[in-house]
């Protein structure tokens, strides 16, 4: 799923096909209960997901197409049960044709044998997508999904709070810590940011920026490096901020967090492009008060960025209408009118080359002090290392990280120690899938 595809995915596909029969997931031959062709009307394709704007995109498709109709069903987000619901449906033979699956979770679905190979239908569209995103959804000649978005990370900050307390916009992580200390000294009810112990993927983005390599392959075996030196440095940094009460431990985007960013008590957030929509929607009092800047750097003068998310429209095993399923999946990712909806509703940053210069991405944002969010995201995307790779058990990694980091914020151990715990559990989980770990 990354630039060294032939080597890496040969190992994954071989191991997965032996252990779980992944190579038997042909999209056009499997049976299932979702839509089927009809001589008397359009083909209905069922689509499960949760992102804002997906229903509206499906409605637009349905209003402009007569031969295919998309039935969108909203599920819980993947981490809150959506993925398990999808996997259960595949196992039970009742899965929809299409599902929203995060790029980080696609390898898990591959290993579970839950995806259909639609290379026959999809290969003609490969050139439409940014190369690394296409590599994320294809496995050694097989194609399982259409990339929808990536999630370049930036610094969102409250300009009014920074000005009130005399804080400069930090360009390095050292400056970010210094700003946190100055803010806390001036008013201990303010925090430079929050820390969500359940949010593995934002933490992964921090590690990604610092050059970490969590997963790789060696021959036919997986390599796991959740405790590598680059990740440990990130963990030690956030551990220090937590220990000194410079960041507020709370779940992101819940009621309390929304109140804190709305009031400015949480004065910044380093996160993905899609977070812009959630901040705007949940912190109305911040209109015109937020700014955007590049991620703080570990080395002064650097320009590295991380990525925290990104998703695809995956074709699930059992889809009886792969041609029609792919037609919609590719359309939603590449149609300008559809993607305008996804930008407005969900703050997505496109994976399709032709959409990177959409007018909707390149205009001042009234909410974010008339700054050009799209330009900030583009700069971050251009400075993101696309060789990062995800492992085959990311749902397990996310759960174990949440458990271990959750104990840290309540005083049980440290983040570096938590990573060691997650490392061990991940190695064991991969072995339990019948895969080799070097």
Q: Cα separation of 266 and 7, whole Å?
A: 44
241 contacts 177 by C-beta, under 8 angstroms:
yes
Determine, yes or no, domain membership for 375: no
Q: Is residue 383 part of a domain?
A: no
The pairing of strands 98-102 and 43-49 is parallel
Q: Is position 427 within any domain?
A: yes
Residue stretches of the chain with pLDDT short of 50: 1-38
Structure tokens at 324: 């029609």
Nearest to 204 by CA among 86, 100, 104: 104
What is the structure's pLDDT at 36? Answer: 45
- 127 lies in the same domain as 114: yes
Report the DSSP pairing between strands 98-102 and 436-437. Answer: unpaired
Taken in order 258, 274, 173, 288, is the CA torsion positive or negative? Answer: negative
Q: Indicate the length of the chain as a whole number.
A: 438
Name the residue range of residue 75's domain. 5-150+309-361
Residue 138 lies in a domain: yes
Q: What's the number of domains the chain is made of?
A: 2
**Are residue 284 and residue 335 in the same domain, yes or no?**
no
C-alpha distance from residue 365 to each of 21, 165, 292, 347, 360 (Å): 48, 25, 10, 12, 10
Tell whether 201 and 249 lie within a shared domain. Answer: yes
Structure tokens at 396: 């397990």
> Within 10 A of 317 (CB to CB), how many other CB atoms are there?
26
Instruction: Tell me the three-class secondary structure of the chain, residue by residue.
Output: CCCCHHHHHHHHHHHHHHHHCHHHCECCCCCCCCCCCECCECEEEEEEECCCCHHHHHHHHHHHCCCEEEEEEECCCHHHCHHHHHHHHHHHCCCCCEEEEECCCHHHHHHCCCECECHHHHHHHHHHECHHHHHHHEECCEECEEEEEECEEEEEEEHHHHHHCCCCCCCEHHHHHHHHHHHHHHCCCCECEEECCCCHHHHHHHHHHCCCCCEEEECCEEEECCCCHHHHHHHHHHHHHHHCCCEEECCCCCHHHHHHHHHCCECEEEEECCHHHHHHHHCHHHCCCEEEEECCECCCCCCCECECCCEEEEEECCCCCHHHHHHHHHHHHHCHHHHHHHHHHHCCEECEHHHCCCHHHCCCECCCCCECHHHHHHHHHHCECCCCCCCCCHHHHHHHHHHHHHHHHCCCCCHHHHHHHHHHHHHHHHHHCCCEEC
164 and 302 assigned to the same domain: yes
CA dist 179 and 413 (Å) reads 26
The predicted pLDDT at position 41 comes to 83
User: Are 294 and 424 members of one domain?
Assistant: yes
400 CB neighbour count, 10 Å cutoff: 21
In a domain, 421, yes or no: yes
The verdict on 145 and 173 lying in the same domain is no
Say which CATH number the domain at 196 has.
Answer: 3.40.190.10
Same domain for 237 and 146: no
* 185 and 320 within one domain: no
Specify which residues 224 forms β-bridges with. Answer: 215
Q: How far apart are CA 360 and CA 382, in angstroms?
A: 19
Q: What is the pLDDT of residue 40?
A: 63
Does residue 181 sit in the same domain as residue 329?
no
Q: Indicate whether 243 and 297 sit together in one domain.
A: yes
Tell me how far apart the alpha carbons of residues 274 and 259 are, in angstroms, rounded to a whole number.
Answer: 19
Among 361, 376, 403, the domain boundary falls at 361
In a domain, 267, yes or no: yes
Residues 6+ apart with CB under 8 A from 157: 169, 267, 268, 269, 290, 291, 292, 293
Domain assignment present for residue 406? The answer is yes
Does residue 417 sit within a domain? yes
**Same-domain pairing of 219 and 344:** no
98-102 and 311-315 as β-strands: parallel, antiparallel, unpaired? antiparallel
Q: What is the structure's pLDDT at 79? A: 86
Question: What pTM, to 2 d.p., does this model score?
Answer: 0.90
122 and 20 in a common domain: yes
Query: Which candidate, 252, 201, 203, places its Cα nearest to that of 232?
Result: 203
């Amino acid at each position: 799923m990354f630039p060294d595809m032939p080597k890496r995915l040969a190992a994954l596909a071989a191991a997965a096909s032996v252990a779980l029969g992944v190579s038997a997931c042909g999209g056009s031959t499997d049976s299932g209960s979702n839509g089927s062709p009809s001589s008397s009307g359009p083909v209905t394709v069922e689509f499960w997901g949760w992102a804002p704007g997906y229903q509206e995109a499906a409605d637009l498709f349905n209003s402009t197409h007569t031969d295919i109709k998309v039935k969108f069903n909203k599920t819980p987000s993947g981490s809150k049960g959506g993925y398990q619901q999808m996997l259960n449906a595949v196992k039970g033979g009742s899965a929809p044709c299409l599902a929203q699956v995060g790029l980080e979770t696609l390898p898990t679905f591959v290993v579970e044998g839950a995806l259909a190979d639609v290379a026959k239908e999809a290969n003609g569209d490969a050139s439409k997508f940014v190369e690394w995103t296409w590599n994320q959804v294809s496995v050694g000649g097989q194609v399982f999904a259409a990339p929808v978005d990536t999630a370049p990370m930036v610094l969102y900050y409250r300009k009014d709070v920074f000005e009130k307390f005399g804080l400069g916009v930090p360009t390095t992580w050292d400056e970010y810590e210094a700003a946190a200390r100055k803010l806390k000294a001036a008013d201990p009810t303010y925090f430079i940011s929050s820390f969500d112990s359940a949010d593995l993927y934002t933490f992964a983005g921090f590690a990604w920026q610092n050059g970490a390599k969590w997963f790789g392959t060696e021959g036919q075996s997986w390599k796991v490096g959740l405790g590598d030196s680059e990740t440990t440095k990130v963990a030690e940094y956030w551990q220090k901020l937590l220990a000194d009460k410079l960041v507020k431990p709370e779940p992101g985007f819940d009621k309390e967090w929304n109140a804190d960013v709305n009031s400015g008590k949480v004065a910044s957030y380093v996160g993905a492009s899609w977070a812009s929509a959630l901040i705007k929607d949940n912190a109305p009092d911040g209109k015109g008060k937020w700014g955007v800047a590049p991620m703080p750097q570990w080395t002064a003068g650097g320009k590295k960025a991380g990525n925290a998310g990104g998703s695809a429209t995956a074709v699930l095993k059992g889809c009886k209408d792969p041609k029609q399923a792919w037609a919609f999946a590719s359309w939603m990712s590449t149609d300008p009118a559809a993607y305008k909806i996804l930008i407005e509703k969900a703050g997505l940053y496109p994976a399709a080359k032709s959409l990177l210069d959409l007018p909707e991405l390149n205009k001042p944002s009234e909410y974010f002090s008339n700054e050009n969010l799209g330009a900030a995201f583009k700069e971050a995307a251009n400075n993101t290392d696309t060789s990062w790779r995800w492992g085959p058990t990311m749902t397990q990694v996310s759960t174990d990280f949440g458990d271990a980091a959750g104990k840290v914020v309540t005083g049980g151990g440290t983040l570096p120690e938590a990573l060691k715990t997650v490392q061990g559990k991940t190695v064991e989980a991969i072995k339990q899938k019948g895969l080799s770990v070097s």
